[in-house]
Amino acid sequence: MVSRRTFLKAGGAALGAAALGGALARAQTATSPAAASHVHGFNDVVGPLRVDDFDPYAFLTQFNRGDTVTNLGAGRARREWRIVAYNRDLEIAPNVSFPAWTFNGQVPGPTLRAREGDMVSIAFQNASPHPHTMHFHGIHAAEMDGVPGIGPGEIKPGGKFTYEFEAKPHGVHLYHCHALPLKRHVHKGLYGAYVVDPPDGWGEPAREMVMAMNAFDTDGDGENEVYAVNTKAFAYARKPIQVKRGELQRVFLVNVTEFDPLNSFHLHANFFRYREIGHTSNAWRFTDNVHLIQAERGLLEFTFDMPGRYMFQAHQSEFTELGWMGFFEVS
């Protein structure tokens, strides 16, 4: 296990592979300049980053609009998904494996997307050794809320249940397990984004991305040691997100960071429009930094007028140094 204190003692994110490898319990301080990633000009961890267990680059723009979609007429559809909860190890930084609880084998779970007024049906199967639920933020009947003691309550190991409701209101929403202890079930990885589009869309066409700000407690002390957007520490620093100059970028941002009351998104050398979900006036803020409490979501829109490499990060410096930092590459 690598503790938060060991991470920081070892130079923040500039940890050698030995400190993050098989000998995690005897983590070593990376003292050699060759082992320190700051020689590359930004924080990083040493060693290759796996993407075969979970690919943050593909996930960024993957929106699952239904395994089965049936046209209901009048612009409405019935969207059906199959979601299976099961345990698996995921690499969150080079040679750092996390024993995750997953929806469909990934953290975050699939980004589910519907249109306001659609009927959604989520056939949930619990293939894990722990009871779980699926709780969707939004408006629906109480028995579909995925809360212990209401409706089907907790779905026991081997059990199944189908959640069905109308997709409303439009917004950037969240789904997660609501079994107790809640902080453990959420932190272990049972969460995902749930996007409900307005009937007339979000506005002008844009390149759309989902970013889930998350973190991981690797030693069970109730503090996070690794921070990221979309699970893999420094993924978008190692391989910047490619965008075109003048093209509108739209980010569906969710904060699913457990154990820390706040997380943040800061864009360098640029400003973005930010709209809180549920704001009745649909008013936009114009800023370069926004803080979100746990489970808060928002919509960001921005363009880049000049080519170059632009950093985005948490503005809690410790989070940045422990993995929550990336770049947009503008061409």
Does residue 16 register a pLDDT over 60?
no
- Please report which confidence band the pLDDT of residue 110 belongs to, taking 50, 70 and 90 as the band edges: very high
| Summary count for the chain: helices (H), strands (E) | 6, 20
Residue 22 has pLDDT above 60, yes or no: no
Q: Please tell me the distance from the alpha carbon of residue 123 to that of residue 105, in angstroms, as a whole number.
A: 16
Bond before 110 cis per omega within 30 degrees: no
pLDDT of 26 reads 28
Q: Would you state the pLDDT for residue 46?
A: 86
Residues 218-230: pLDDT tens digits?
999 999 999 999 9
At residue 145, what is the residue type? D
The distance of Cα 211 from the centroid of its chain, to the nearest Å, equals 5
pLDDT at 24 over 50: no
The Cα 135–Cα 182 span in angstroms is 11
pLDDT at position 2 is 57
Asked if pLDDT for residue 119 goes beyond 70, the answer is yes
Question: Is the per-residue pLDDT at 234 higher than 90?
Answer: yes
Comparison of pLDDT for 12 and 34, the residue scoring more? 12
Instruction: Dump pLDDT digits (tens) for 160-217.
Output: 999 999 999 999 999 999 999 999 999 999 999 999 999 999 999 999 999 999 999 9
- Cα gap 194→256, rounded to integer Å: 13
What pLDDT does residue 45 have?
A: 79
Query: In the CATH scheme, what is the code of domain 56-197?
Result: 2.60.40.420
Of residues 20 and 229, more confidently modeled: 229
* CA dist., res. 110 & res. 38, Å (int): 33
Question: Where in the sequence of the chain do the CATH 2.60.40.420 domains occur?
Answer: 56-197, 204-330
Q: Minimum mean pLDDT among 16-20, 83-87, 244-248, 261-265: which range?
A: 16-20
Given this model, what pLDDT does residue 19 score? 35
| pLDDT above 50 for 14 | no
Q: Which two tokens stand for residue 295?
A: 């489970």
Q: For residues 108 and 88, what is the distance between their CA atoms, to the nearest angstrom? A: 13
Which tens digits make up the pLDDT trace of 260-303? 999 999 999 999 999 988 655 568 999 999 999 999 999 999 99
Single-letter residue type at 303 = T
Strand partners, 61: none
Least confident piece of the model among 5-14, 93-102, 202-211, 315-324: 5-14
Instruction: Give 204-330's CATH code, choosing from 3.40.50.450, 2.60.40.420, 2.40.160.40, 3.40.50.1370.
Output: 2.60.40.420
pLDDT at residue 37, as a whole number? 44
pLDDT score recorded for residue 280: 55
The pTM score is 0.89
Q: Judge whether 70 and 78 are in contact, CB under 8 Å.
A: yes
pLDDT of residue 18: 33
Torsion of CA 119, 124, 130, 133, to 10 degrees: 10
Q: What is the CA radius of gyration of the chain?
A: 20
pLDDT, mean over the chain: 89
